[in-house]
Structure formats: C-alpha cells, structure tokens
Amino acid sequence: MSAFRPVARVATPAGPAALPEEVAVTLVYNGTTQAVMMATPADIEDFALGFTISEGIAPPAEAGEIEVVTHGLGIEARLWLPAAREAALAARRRALVGAVGCGLCGIDSLEAANRALPRLPDGGPVMSVADLHAALAALTTRQPFHDETHAVHAAALWHGGEIVIAREDVGRHNALDKLIGAAARAGIAMGDCAVLVTSRLSVEMIQKTVVAGAPILASVSKPTAHALRLAEGANLTLISTAGGHPVAYCHEARLT
C-alpha cells in the first residue's frame, strides 16, 4: 500500500483546489529496473501486474508476488519472474523513463514501438448501442478522482452487461494498465469483456488492449489513423462516441 495520497488539497489565488498527485513509480523485475513512470499513487499492484501483462513481459501466472515499497521520492513495485522470463526481458531491456502517460518514451528501436500484435479470435462479446450508452453513463459514476480534480483518465471493464471494474490515473496508459492488472487479479478473462476509456484511442492503447485479449475498445474520443490500422489487423473492434453517435471504425459486428 502506498503512503502517498492520490489527491492533494492546495491553496490557490482562486481558493482551495483538489489536484491529482503524480509520483515516480519504478517497476523492478528480479532486482533490475525496467521502467519508471509518473503515475497516480493508487492501485499500484494493479498497475505493476497490468504493465507486466500488456508489455508482454509475463502472463499473470508467472508474475509472482508484487511487493510495493514507498521511498521519499516515489514508489517501487518489485516483481520476481521465472528464469526464462528474466532472460527474455534482459534481451529486450529498455529504460523507459517518461513523462506522465508517455507510453512509448524510452523505447530503443522502431521495431519495439511497432511491435507485432496477435490477432484476436473471432466472436466474443457483443454490445448494443444501448449497452454502450449505459456503460459509459455508468462509468461517470465510477470516477472519484475525476470528480474531485477533473484531471485524470479512466478505464473500465464491461462484462455481463455491466461495469465490473474501473481504474483512474493521470496517464491514460496507466489507467488501462491498472484495469488490466485488476482484471487479472480478479480472475476475469478479458476475452469476454469490452474496455471503455475516456481518452483518445492511440497506438499504445490498442497495443495494450490486444495483448490483454479484450476484443472491444470503446472511447468518448476518436482513434488515430495508425491506431485504426492496428485494430483492423488485430481483429479489435474500435468504437468512438465522439459527437454523440457511436461509430464502430472496424470489426463492427460486435456493435449491434
């Protein structure tokens, strides 16, 4: 558990204000630092596991126990991987030190930034337009940090007709990683779910969603052109409600 608080109360010329905190979170595998990200100091175990999954470092069963250690300057999340995973990680080592939500900062090759994605299986969950609107409306009630600060992103998991998990962070990629980790810790198979986010649908959001195995990614914002190309190739249904009308940009059979 982090000793940092996710929301700070500060005095401003306009009066008291609630602002989100962001701290350096170091992800350490087998004693070696893999990444340092600026993140909201909440749900750190979820973040560490989700990053491990979405970056293809290890599946949940091989991530081991997660130890969270708070220092004066930030937080360490320590994980221990099997020898084979450790060797593979060392071979692709990258020092990922980025600004908030900078999902590709520090990647040391164009190949890593454009990593090949698996193709998701056909089928999976189907959402109606009514389901989508209801889920996005429900998400607005699951964002306590946003309600206080109006300065964080959210990611949520839709399963069985309802929002079952929601996570928030100052970084959109971090919020998604926290969601992925929370789902894994809850034993929820993401292949049966849709992911909802409040941010733009950028390349990294598609990459993380596909690697996690979710077949639907929906947002109140639009995708980038390259994100759409990746989603098309990965059999990921990409949905935006920007402008008030849901649009499935690809693999539209999952939206009815």
Q: Which residues form the catalytic set?
A: 102
How far is C-alpha 89 from the chain's CA centre? 20
- Cβ neighbors of 109 (< 8 A, separation 6 or more) are none
Asked if 227 contacts 103 with a C-beta cutoff of 8 angstroms, the reply is no
- Cβ neighbors of 61 (< 8 A, separation 6 or more) are none
How far is the C-alpha of 115 from the C-alpha of 234, rounded, in Å? 12
Among 120, 118, 74, which residue's Cα sits nearest to residue 238? 120
The HSE-up count of residue 237 (CA atoms within 13 Å, CB side) is 28
